[in-house]
A and B are shown apart, each in its own frame.
Chain A
Amino acid sequence: MKVDQVLDAKGLACPMPIVKTKKAMNNLEAGQILEVQTTDKGAKSDLTAWTKSTGHTMLDSKEEDSVYTFYIQKG
């Protein structure tokens, strides 16, 4: 997967991961992919719901050593 931008939101509490994701997405073109790294557990359901409601696509996500990584493609 070709990631166009990486957002480090580690250590940030809700709602900052989603606020920062939103800002980062604004600077991307449709079809480009953003990688979001967060340590906030709640981010998983929040980001999933948010991508769904905004027309973006959650391509993949993973958890490694308490870091959650999400790959979101701009819609």
Chain B
Amino acid sequence: MTVKLISTQEIAKKVLNHEDVFILDVRNTDAFDEWKMEGRNVKVMNAPFSKLTEEDALLDKLPKDKEIYTICAKGNSSKRAAEYLEEKGFKYVYSVEGGMKAWSEYLEPIKVGDLIGGGSIYQFVRLGKGCLSYLIESEGNGAVIDTNRMLETYEQFAEEHGIRITHLLDTHLHADHISGGRALAEKLGGTYYLPPNDAEDLNFDYSPIQDGDIIYVGSSMIKAVYSPGHTIGSTSFIIDDQYLLTGDILFIDSIGRPDLAGKAGDWVGDLRETLYERYKELKGELLVLPAHFMGINEMKDNGSISEKLNVLYKQNHGLNIHEEEEFRKTVSENLPPQPNSYEEIRQINMGKLMTDLEQQREMETGPNRCAVR
């Protein structure tokens, strides 16, 4: 019997269109609890493969007359599960190709808006992991900010839209995912920028970007604003006075955590100053575009993630902790677990640790966990 398959791209389209999707996740429950598929109208049920084939009561919980998408870690068990369900009379069963590993790698480009200078800005949504990266296009030139490891998606997009990518910028040294900035710069002959305070231990050449620096992309402008706190180098980028790319400092419903380089205590003050002073001086009308989303509830109807700065000052809990001591506690105590392999990922992003693709995929599984609420 051949099992019907569905690609992560097709599933992603359904999730982004907010369609009803029923997922049967057959991984073990620990793995499921740590990290699973999410979507506004996505229902996910966990039934480890070994249980599914033993407990018939589980089958009664599955929809008979609509599609069931089975998923597992890599796409083998989900195929077996789909086979089993078909034997049991379920007609519309599809196995998600490549499993959670492939889901973690899927990137969907969504246009956020136009630039005053005449270009456009796109958000690349990494649905499975919650990472957001950005492509700015103006007069056929392009810059990518917080590039993920899956370079082909950016390259293909650039080719389809006739964009020559020349500038690759990272808001900070990432700890939750492997940066594709340097690799894409090398591949395309572009320049890789990183804030120098995060680059002390870097094992390769890069271009420093600091407070007040301006980069022109076609007729659009990227302005750097030093905004430390998640890391000591964390720098935000203002695009054409319309968009504020906050990196891992400010998210829609949370704020950055200061501990991923082991310096929570030292950096709390910086984080507070950035969020409660530096950002306050910026125009409230700026549209905040963060480097992560934490929950699917942050997603807009078109699948993108953004909010105006002045709205966040009203709604984001992390911007409304008036007592400094309470703020310190919030961002340095009871923090969620750190992202998977965060120390190794930092080493890779510094060029100090060499790994193959399979190791990189393994390290990046799991949620991003860069925020505190």
Contact = CB atoms under 8 A, between A and B. Distances in A.
A53 B49 CA distance: 13
Contacts of A45: 28, 30-31
B77 interface: yes
B76 A49 contact: no
A15 B76 contact: yes
A56 to B, nearest CB: 12
B48 interface: yes
A13 B76 contact: yes
B29 A14 contact: no
Interface bin, chain A: 10 to 19
Given A22-B50, A49-B30, A15 B74 contact: no
B294 interface: no
Contacts of A48: 30
A18 B50 contact: yes
Interface in B1-58: 26-31, 48-51
A14 B73 CA distance: 9
A68 interface: no
Contact of A42 (B48, B51, B74): B74
Contacts of B80: 15
Interface of A, helix, strand, loop or mixed by DSSP: helix
Nearest to A47: B28
Nearest to B77: A15
Interface residues of B, number: 17
A46 interface: yes
B72 interface: yes
B362 to A, nearest CB: 8
Contact of A18 (B29, B30, B49): B49
Nearest to A41: B362
B361 to A, nearest CB: 11
Interface in A47-70: 48-50, 53
Given A49-B30, A50-B28, A14 B50 contact: no
A58 B65 CA distance: 40
B72 A19 contact: no
B28 A46 contact: yes
Given A14-B72, A14-B74, A15-B80, 13 more contacts: A13-B76, A14-B73, A14-B76, A14-B77, A15-B72, A15-B76, A15-B77, A22-B50, A41-B362, A42-B74, A46-B27, A49-B30, A49-B31
| Those 8 A-B pairs whose CB atoms lie nearest each other, nearest first | A49-B28, A15-B77, A15-B49, A13-B76, A49-B30, A14-B76, A14-B77, A46-B28
